[in-house]
Amino acid sequence: MGKNLIYLFSILAITNIGVASFAQESGTVIDNRDKHKYKTVKIGEQVWMAENLRYKATNGC
């Protein structure tokens, strides 16, 4: 499935179609470690984070 997903995102990038155009819903999730709020999008039956984590571990990863 990983190759198929990379292939899909490559096609979207080449054809200049954004992933957001496929998103059915958007929302947020809060990281309990540092209380940062992150945007999410639902694509099909899966919920994906729409931005990278900003958490910085103090005692290793």
pLDDT in tens, 9-27: 555 555 444 555 555 788 9
Pick left, alpha or beta for residue 45 (phi over 0 → left; psi -120 to 50 → alpha; otherwise beta): alpha
Q: Residue 55: pLDDT band by 50, 70, 90 thresholds?
A: confident
CA dihedral sign of residues 54, 47, 44, 1: positive
Cα–Cα nearest to 40, from 16, 18, 23: 23
Q: Return the H-helix or E-strand segment holding 23.
A: none
Contact, 59 vs 37, CB < 8 A? no
Structure pTM?
Answer: 0.53
Q: Residue 28: pLDDT band by 50, 70, 90 thresholds?
A: very high
